[in-house]
Structures are given as C-alpha cells and as structure tokens.
Amino acid sequence: MSLERDAALNIAKVLTEALPYIQRFTGKTIVVKFGGNAMVDPELHESFARDVVLMKLVGMNPVVVHGGGPQIGSLLEKLNIHTEFVEGMRVTDAQTMDVVEMVLGGSVNKEIVSSINRNGGKAIGISGKDGQLIRARKLKVSRHSPELQAPEIIDIGHVGEVDQIDTEVINVILESNFIPVIAPIGVDSHGSSYNINADLVAGKLAEVMQAEKLMLLTNVAGLLDKEGQILTGLSTEEVDALIADGTIHGGMLPKIGCALDAVKSGVASSHIIDGRVPHAVLLEIFTNEGIGTLITNRRGS
C-alpha cells in the first residue's frame, strides 16, 4: 500500500472519529481558558487559534478566557515596579493594576484576537469591565502563622473574585457569529478594577452559561495519580475522594476545585488539558482518547 494511500486512510479515520463529536456539540457553548506555554510559544499560540476557528466553523460556540501572568511580570520588570506574592497571588497596588489592565485588556487580548482572525475566524476582544460582564469584589487572603492564634487577613490590593456575571454582552457577540475573547478583569460597584484569576473567571462563566464544557489549558499532562499516571473519566465523587486522600494537592487544588465546581453547578464536563501539545483542544474534543483529565457528573450523563 502506498504512503499516499496510508496517509489518506489515516485522514479518513480521523474525520470519521470526529464526526459524532461534531454532531453532538453543534450549537453548544464551550468555555476555554487559554494560558501557560500555549500563550508564549508562537507555534502553540497559532495551533490554539486554528482549533478555536475550527470549533466555530463546525457549529460550536467557543468562548475564550485568557491569563497573562508572565507577560504582566515581564512588563513590571521592565518598568522597575517591584512585585511580591502572597499565597501565590500577586499583590496588586494601583500602579500594578494599571499595568495589569494594559497587558491583559490590551496587548495580550488583542494578540489572541489577531491570531484567531488571521486564521480565518472572527473574534472580538473584551474585558470583564465591558457591559458589566464581571462584577467583582475584593479578595482577602488569610495566612496562617505559628506566631498568631488567629489567621492573618491580608489585603493584596486590586485582586478580586467573581461576585456575579452578566452574560448579555457575550450573548450579543455569539449571536453575531463572533468569538468572544475575554480578559479576566472585573469591576466593583464603585468602579474600581480588579485582577481575577482566569481559571475562576472561566469556571464561573461556564456555570452561568450552562456550558457543555469547561476546558482549562495547563502546563501539565493532566491530573496525575500517586504513580504519575494520568487520571481521566472521573466522577465528581471520585475527585472529592482524591482531594480527601491527598492525591490532589498543592498548586493543582485550585484548578481542580474550579473544574469540580463547574460540573457540580451544571456544566456537562470539565477538562484539564496539556496546553504544551499542539492542537490540544481539538484532540480533547474530537478524539476518543482525549489528551487530559475529564471530570463529569456521571449521574447526569
């Protein structure tokens, strides 16, 4: 059999495998959090943009939420603005918040929009401040110290959490056949801006929109068991058990918590996928094997 025929048969196999997923997810909303290596590696950036364009072309409604921590850190360093972190979160004073808005709502957001448009899509960039999409409240961090009997409450400035989401502006964008690209900046009732963790924004957005899927791109292969093997096809009960026995710990806890909350709140499935793999989004949606950790509420599936 010729190499050309082998290649053609392989393409046919891939398309045939993808077809039922295309049929199943046509018209469904899929919220994708874009971050990590995929944002800073030009080839991965382009492959992500093509994935999103293809999703839209086959009838899905992708909604992109992006981070931008490394880009923020790089500009703060260039501007000689000192940064410190508390419990893994950047202390954000007014000057730092100006830089966060400039990077997230400006350069990073527009770069993603341009990449999608360059690959044949139609994207519109917004921040959570537009149309009062994300109403935020100040996040207070508790830090336990052996010297203190009670936890220390720390004010880390313009760092927020989601208070509520009004999806009107996103619905208008989707109805106009555009792809929304959202910077995770919220605003409170007094008009103050807050930087919010992009995973949390994506999770809350998926909940409010009752999305079919929440997909979180990371710099790891997925959720690993104690032997280092990828876990997938997990129910919410199984994830709760893995948290309880310490399998899920450290930096993975907030991400898993976000994915778990989304599924418990009505999102059909959450996926934690390896953004270092080209076309990771398509591989997770359109293939039987997938490429990361799938969490679903089996009682509802």
CB contact at 8 A, 17 and 288: yes
Please name the amino acid found at residue 82.
Answer: H
Mind listing the pLDDT tens digit for each residue in 161-214? Answer: 999 999 999 999 999 999 999 999 999 999 999 999 999 999 999 999 999 999
Superfamily name with CATH number, domain 24-300: Acetylglutamate kinase-like (3.40.1160.10)
Residues 6+ apart with CB under 8 A from 186: 128, 129, 134, 135, 136, 160, 162, 163, 193, 194, 196, 201
Positions at the binding site for substrate: 68-69, 90, 195
Q: Which residue has the tokens 């806890």?
A: 253
**What SS3 class is residue 280?**
helix
- Cα 50 to Cα 56, 66, 150, 278, distances in angstroms: 10, 16, 50, 10
- Tens of pLDDT, residue by residue over 83-140, are 887 767 788 888 889 999 999 999 999 999 999 999 999 999 999 999 999 999 998 7
> d(Cα 113, Cα 116) in Å, to the nearest integer?
5
pLDDT in tens, 18-44: 888 888 999 999 999 998 777 888 899
Binding site: which residues? 68-69, 90, 195
Domain ranges for the chain:
24-300
**Between the CA of residue 288 and those of 13, 200, 259, 260, what are the distances in Å?**
12, 28, 21, 22
